[in-house]
Structure 1
Amino acid sequence: MNLANKLTVSRLGLTVLLVLLLVLRLPYADTAALALFIAAAVTDFFDGRVARDRGQITPFGVLMDPLVDKVLVCAVFIALIERGRLDAHWPVQVHAWMAIVVVVRELAITGLRLLAASRQLVLAAERYGKHKTTSQMIAVVALLTLLAVQEWPESLSAWFLPWVPVAALVMLWLAVVLTLWSGAIYLWRNRSLYLEGV
């Protein structure tokens, strides 16, 4: 297994540990979860770059890299449902329906790509899909920061608390809207794949 694929697989391990930290609620677990998510996002950036620079692009990497990204984001959204309201003053909360939107969209698009692959077709990533992924990653960082900042000393948290809840709320809703929008566009543009023979 080459370095790029090892980085991809390491993200699965980080995902499991991150979800455990969010669920178990140990001291400073939210801060550790934030650090792990950022580490996972960094490995996501580097595994693709390493694969391209070293000529290590493999069928495993092409399949698993986007799949692991989806598992990571979906797992965090699902884990955050249990946390309820994340801020005492702002209505920042990952509702079950929001997580369902994210999970269903990712499953639908993955299914569509598998259908295309079975017909020897490759569906390229759409611009809206890239915006969706970026918004989801930023939303998760903002949400985890909102949890983590409550564990930090007051001298540090005082700088974050005035604006992090607002940023988390805005990014959460933006991520949900872009998830719906990008999924709808992708399904519509590739409708010939699943409507064929209907």
Structure 2
Amino acid sequence: MNLPNAITILRLFAVPAVVWAIADDRIALAFWIFLAAGISDAVDGFIARHFNMQSELGAYLDPVADKALLVSIYVALALTGQVPGWLTLAVVVRDVVIVSAVAASWAMEQPVTIRPLIVSKLNTAAQIGFAALMLGATGFSIPLGNAYEVGLVLVAGLTAISALAYLFEWSRHLAR
């Protein structure tokens, strides 16, 4: 156990806290918890890289914490009617498809190493940005104007493109 891993574990504890805040209609609080979790992600990564504290546990724990937080927020936002259910389904299905493909590769004794694609990084940034936009706008009563539609299309498009890109990479891996 090291400091970056401890910070990541705290981020995991943010998941039920932010879901509770959304469910209890304390959206401004959910925004601040989400913001703190995002900052903690940057801080633990910085500490791990710059102080040579990277670990195998952290390599697994960090993406799990990130995905748990994002998926949970999208599910909570869909259940409270703040984002459409189909968008949440797309976000969740993309992650399930990627994990399933990795598991299938291991089961076929052709393990695949998933490396983040540029489109995946853009997708994650769009998902985080849209979730923060929805939490901030709702929590602080800020009108969104066209930002809602733009964010919706951006997240939906990048989620689909990212899923297809990973499936393409996975199929190329199996063909080798």
Q: Return the TM-score normalized by structure 1.
A: 0.80
Displacement of 1:172 in angstroms is 2.5
Q: Which of these residues, 57, 60, 77, is aligned with residue 60 of structure 1?
A: 57
Residue matched to 2:151: 171
Residue matched to 2:99: 110
Residue matched to 1:9: 9
Displacement of 1:115 in angstroms is 4.8
After TM superposition, list the pairs within 5 Å mapping 1:118-157 onto structure 2.
119=110, 121-150=112-141
Cα distance between partner residues in 1 of 2:116 and 2:40: 20
Q: Is the 8 A contact 2:28 2:140 kept in 1?
A: yes
Classify 1:23/1:106 alpha carbon distance in 2 versus 1 (closer, same or farther; 3 Å): same
Q: Is the 8 A contact 1:146 1:168 kept in 2?
A: no
Cα-to-partner distance string for 1:43-65 (whole Å, 9 max, x where unaligned): 11111111111111111111121
Q: Is the 8 A contact 2:4 2:58 kept in 1?
A: yes
Please say which structure displays the higher CA radius of gyration.
1
Cα distance between partner residues in 2 of 1:46 and 1:114: 30
Cα-to-partner distance string for 1:133-166 (whole Å, 9 max, x where unaligned): 000010001100121123xxxxxxxxx42xx342
Displacement of 1:82 in angstroms is 2.1
1:96 aligns with 2:76: no
Q: Return the TM-score normalized by structure 2.
A: 0.89
Cα distance between partner residues in 1 of 2:114 and 2:157: 22
1:180 aligns with 2:169: no
Q: Is the 8 A contact 2:110 2:174 kept in 1?
A: no
Q: Is the 8 A contact 1:116 1:123 kept in 2?
A: no
Cα distance between partner residues in 2 of 1:68 and 1:116: 23
Residue matched to 1:154: none
Cα distance between partner residues in 1 of 2:103 and 2:47: 25
Q: Which amino acid aligns with 2:43?
A: F
Cα distance between partner residues in 1 of 2:111 and 2:166: 18
Would you say how many aligned residue pairs link Structure 1 and Structure 2? 174
Task: Indicate the percent of aligned positions where both proteins have the same amino acid.
Answer: 27
Q: Which amino acid aligns with 1:133?
A: T
Residue matched to 2:20: 20
Q: Which runs of 5+ in 2 are unaligned?
A: none
Q: Which amino acid aligns with 1:187?
A: L
Cα distance between partner residues in 1 of 2:102 and 2:7: 23
Displacement of 1:173 in angstroms is 2.3
Cα distance between partner residues in 2 of 1:116 and 1:45: 31
